[in-house]
Structure 1
């Protein structure tokens, strides 16, 4: 295991594969991201950290999964966003842009996390509806898989 110490916490380098499918009305968009990232555990939660490079600039993303099936996605950098997910619940978040801070809401229909801690790999599956300022933006399906580098 290639571990890195960060703030006294053992961090493992992982390869991250993110697949997102967005449905808005009749339109369906999907995209994939491959990134290097880090995986670590703290208390009863585990974290994935990775960067996305987009036209607007680099976006730093942290995904926090808490036992009891709750998730938090924090994005900073070119985009600032905070989204909270809990199955069958509507939860408030925020999105910061040049226009100011907008309120967003997630209504989660599916949230699962499967992990093999001995091999440091796993997958998060998330399905939710996103609302911005109370208006529907679309239905999202996200699959985030991660695997320690060099492991099969």
Structure 2
């Protein structure tokens, strides 16, 4: 399929920069930074998130090495579940997670629209779905690791 007009790489990258600027100016981004600032002022919520991140990373390692039915994996999963329960009892943490999920959802939706628009003309493939941090490290609460592929 031939394109009617040619667009150079610099123009495409400039448009990507504009799109990124629009995302940075979005309500989702503003709400995320507000929620993150509140989290930074709440040591308990910070500690819970840090612990959950470590547990989640450890869970993935144990799952890959030992499998989900192994006793060590089950014990660590229970500990992670308890951390989640504590987070759910912390309103500032819930607001942060919701804002993070909304911002990530916006970025994922932009990516999906681009992929859908390119799908018919280019051999694009959907990679694993990742959180806005450039790959799920557990900091998102693990919401993105469960939905690999699109």
Which has more strand, going by share of residues?
A: 1
Higher relative contact order at CA 8 Å, sep ≥6: structure 1 or structure 2?
2
Is TM > 0.5 for Structure 1 vs Structure 2? no
Q: Point out the structure with the larger helix share.
A: 2
Query: TM range, normalised to the smaller chain?
Result: under 0.3
Q: TM-score, normalised by structure 2?
A: 0.21
Higher Cα Rg: structure 1 or 2?
A: 2
